[in-house]
Structure 1
Amino acid sequence: MKIDDPAVVSEVREALARYEKALMEDDIAAMDDLFRQAPQTVRYGVGEVLYGYDEIAAFRRGRGGSPQRKLGRVEIATYGDSFATANVEFFREGTDRRGRQSQSWVKFPDGWKVVSAHVSIEGSGS
């Protein structure tokens, strides 16, 4: 198994950039497309625990957009050509508290999809 193949890292970096753009623009359709549409997909947020694609999609539709943020450090690791992790530090506007986002990505026939995600804010207890 090849770890951190530059071409695969580049693919995941592009998928992550599409996710970040969609998140900042509240492009729900694009965000939905980047998460695997399956009951096994999980997202733990700062204040929510969501099991399955349907719960994740419903949360997005009900929250009214994400707080704006700037990215800090981004670390992507790939394992073979179809699994990756992306770990991101971010800073929401109006605060210097660091946020953290981790995602597991799998490459399916229709492209890279998030299968698991976790978001927390440093010092929030979440």
Structure 2
Amino acid sequence: MTIDDPELLREVTTAFYEYERALMEDDIAAMDALFHDAPTTNRYGVGETLYGIEEIREFRNGRGGSPQRKLGRVSITVYGDSFATCDAEFHRENSAAKGRQTQAWAKFPNGWKVVSAHVSLQGNTH
């Protein structure tokens, strides 16, 4: 299995940063286009647990935009020719809390799509 084929890594990296742009601009159509349109696509957020693309869409349409943030360290890895992970640290504006995001991406005939996402804020583990 090839890890980080340069062309595929470029494709996933472009998709990842397009999602970040869409998130910060509350571009719901662009975010929706980057998530796999299926009941198997899930997203665990800081305060929500969403199973299936319909729950994800309902959440996005009702929240009024994401809190603004700046990305910290980002790690993107492509495994083979159709699966990738994107892990990122972020800092929300006006908050000392560090956030973390993990996305699993799969390549479909219509491009790279998020199939699973998890967002959390770092906190005390005890």
Q: Which residue matches 2:67?
A: 67
Q: Distance in 2 between matches of 1:36 and 1:30?
A: 12
Q: 2: distance between equivalents of 1:5 and 1:98? A: 30
5+ long unaligned stretches in structure 1 = none
SS at match of 1:55: helix
Q: Residue 10 and residue 68 in structure 1: after superposition, are their counterparts in 2 closer, same or farther (change >3 A)?
A: same
The Cα of 1:37 is off from its aligned counterpart by 0.5
Tell me how far apart the structure 2 counterparts of residues 29 and 23 of structure 1 sit (CA, whole Å): 10
What number of residue pairs does the alignment pair up?
125
TM-score by length of 1: 0.96
Paired with 2:90 and 2:10, the residues of 1 have a C-alpha distance of: 20
Residue 10 of structure 2 is matched in structure 1 by 10
Shift of 1:96: 2.2
Give 1:124 shift. 6.9
Q: Normalized against structure 2, the TM-score is what? A: 0.96
Runs of 4+ that moved beyond 6 A: none
How do 1:86-105 and structure 2 match up within 5 A? Answer: 86-105=86-105
- Percent identity over the alignment is 66
Structure 2 spans left out of the alignment, 5+ residues = none
